[in-house]
Structure 1
Amino acid sequence: MSGRGLRITLRGFWYLMLLFLYAPLAVVALYSFNSINSSAVFAGVSLRWYHALLADDTIMNAFYNSVVLALSSSVIATVVGTLLGYGMYTHRERRLGWLIWLVYLPIVMPDIVYGISQMSFFTSISAATGGMLDLGLTTMVIAHVSFQVPFVALLVYSRLVGLDSRLFAACQDLYANAWQRAWYFILPTLRPAIVAAFFLAFTLSIDDFVISFFTAGPESTTLPIFIWSAIKKGVTPEVNAIATLMIGAVFAAAAVALAFQYVRAGRRNAAG
């Protein structure tokens, strides 16, 4: 096969994969605008199901819980994960391979195993403390932070590993104390990684179902849990509308992160 033929084949394979990945999402979005209550026959464009969402208190409460959970857990995970990533970099030359293995463990562990273990842990703590950690939004935030932190830490760590170690020595040679190094060098250098880590953590939280399901209480239903309960009666255009809004939120978060990277790259090229 010639080089041109190989390029055409690879391009065709690329477009086929894009179709395979995004065609189901497009179908969900299309039927969310269906004018009739059907997910099999499209009878025309209508916004009735989006109006129905805004009028449904249960759905709006689930939406509120999802946003609060995603924002609070992402902020906490970004702070903790950044500190952990920096600590991993600072002590990278020591024999702490087991620490990095522990950081990877929540990423590779099956969600259902992790969710069950979290539920058992919170239930035991609640029983021992007289209901201090009953299942609810607080336990969901703690559980989400615990699986978001490794992603943040590894992103920050990979950014630090790519830096020239002599830059840290240069800061010390210029008599910068620890706070000055953190404020004027480390944080500005890590800003792209921190922003990307935050949006990654937000995305992981907003669409998580398994861990949320096992750590949620009766008053802390999120949108993924609501969708799972609703589809027991069949996939309706209202469910498609909820899914479309969630898809839009994820795409918006990814677009903001990508735009931030482009702006930073443009400023760097202009300065260079």
Structure 2
Amino acid sequence: MRRGAFKRGLTLFWWLTIAFLYLPLAVIVFYSFNSANSAAHFAGFSLRWYDRLFHNDQLLGALSNSLVLGLASSIVALIIGTLIGYGMYRHRSRKLGWLIVLIYLPIVMPDIVFGISEMAFFVSIDRQFGVLGPSLATMIIAHVTFQIPFVALIVYSRFVGLDPTLFEAAKDLYASPYKRARHFLLPTLKPSLIAAFFLSFTLSVDDFVISFFTAGPENATLPIYIWGAIRRGVSPEINAIATLMIGAVMIAAVLSLLFNRQGRRQ
């Protein structure tokens, strides 16, 4: 009897936690279809705010910046992070505790500290050499710096799960380094690489603090645009933007999870 009551209690706690996490998002999605001009009350379903979004030049520009930023930074972070993850695996027997700390540091560091440090660095370089002024390029560099650790750890975890004799078998079959990379490493790492890319893209699209400190005057992303618009009050248009972002992030997160699971099964 007590065991059954305990399980029911855990089930209830689980659903309450899920409700606590996702009810605010559900409210935003619901009010994004509000036909009223105010988000304070619901006057009926309408797609007028979504129609306005696709005729808003500022919003489309922010969306374009977010996509370029997310794709460019994710690709660069994927390449560098994969190399770092492979290096961590190859030299795992050595005492590389300091390297692990350096990899984890951008993950645990507060975004505000990371953003301010990036801004100070770019401003200093710009004053000294006249390059790396606030722009989309500085945003890409800043995003790459906090995406690399996630990619490196995902790739490293995939390497650790492999049978070490597979590498020796490839050498015994006289496979050159190029052939080992093309026919063994890349196919084996493919699910992890795809998962790492989608995770990096999700982090980039969702980021506000670091983007805010490193963006130029004409390089606003969707989170920055939302922050500027919400200062004038929450409107159904803001809810519609947030709904589209929620959908994009959820799709990327689900794809990342699926590919990561596929990689573990192989």
Q: TM class, shorter-chain normalised?
A: over 0.9
- Partner of 2:143: helix, strand, or coil? helix
Letter in 2 for 1:29: V
Letter in 1 for 2:156: Y
Distance 1:264 1:163 in 2: 11
Find the counterpart in structure 1 of residue 155 from structure 2. Answer: 156
Distance 1:111 1:122 in 2: 16
* Offset of residue 3 of structure 1: 3.0
| 8 Å CA contact 2:31, 2:39 repeated in 1 | yes
Scaled by the length of structure 2, the TM-score of the pair is: 0.96
Flag the 1:256–1:35 CA change in 2: closer, same or farther, 3 A.
Answer: same
Find the counterpart in structure 2 of residue 194 from structure 1. Answer: 193
Cα deviation 1:161-192 (Å, max 9, x = unaligned):
11121111111111112111111111111111
* Offset of residue 252 of structure 1: 1.6
Residue 171 of structure 1 pairs with residue 189 of structure 2: no
Cα deviation 1:179-238 (Å, max 9, x = unaligned):
111111111111111111111000000010000000000010001001111111111111
Worse overlay, 207-216 or 39-48? 39-48
Find the counterpart in structure 2 of residue 219 from structure 1. Answer: 218
Find the counterpart in structure 2 of residue 11 from structure 1. Answer: 11
Find the counterpart in structure 2 of residue 96 from structure 1. Answer: 96
Letter in 2 for 1:181: R
Find the counterpart in structure 2 of residue 78 from structure 1. Answer: 78
1:11-30 correspondence to structure 2 within 5 Å:
11-30=11-30
Find the counterpart in structure 2 of residue 243 from structure 1. Answer: 242
- Partner of 1:233: helix, strand, or coil? coil
* Offset of residue 2 of structure 1: 3.2
Distance 1:116 1:50 in 2: 34
Flag the 1:103–1:57 CA change in 2: closer, same or farther, 3 A.
Answer: same
Distance 1:263 1:121 in 2: 40
Q: What's the Cα RMSD here? A: 1.6
Flag the 1:265–1:129 CA change in 2: closer, same or farther, 3 A.
Answer: closer
Sequence identity of aligned pairs in percent? 61
Cα deviation 1:130-156 (Å, max 9, x = unaligned):
2x2110100000000000000000011
* Offset of residue 260 of structure 1: 4.3
In structure 2, runs of 5+ residues without a counterpart are: none
Distance 2:259 2:87 in 1: 26
Cα deviation 1:235-262 (Å, max 9, x = unaligned):
1111111100000101121233345467
Residue 87 of structure 1 pairs with residue 80 of structure 2: no
Find the counterpart in structure 1 of residue 205 from structure 2. Answer: 206
| 8 Å CA contact 2:62, 2:225 repeated in 1 | yes
In structure 1, runs of 5+ residues without a counterpart are: none
1:106-117 correspondence to structure 2 within 5 Å:
106-117=106-117
Distance 2:208 2:9 in 1: 37
* Offset of residue 4 of structure 1: 2.6
Letter in 2 for 1:11: T
- Partner of 2:212: helix, strand, or coil? helix
Flag the 1:112–1:173 CA change in 2: closer, same or farther, 3 A.
Answer: same
Distance 1:263 1:163 in 2: 14
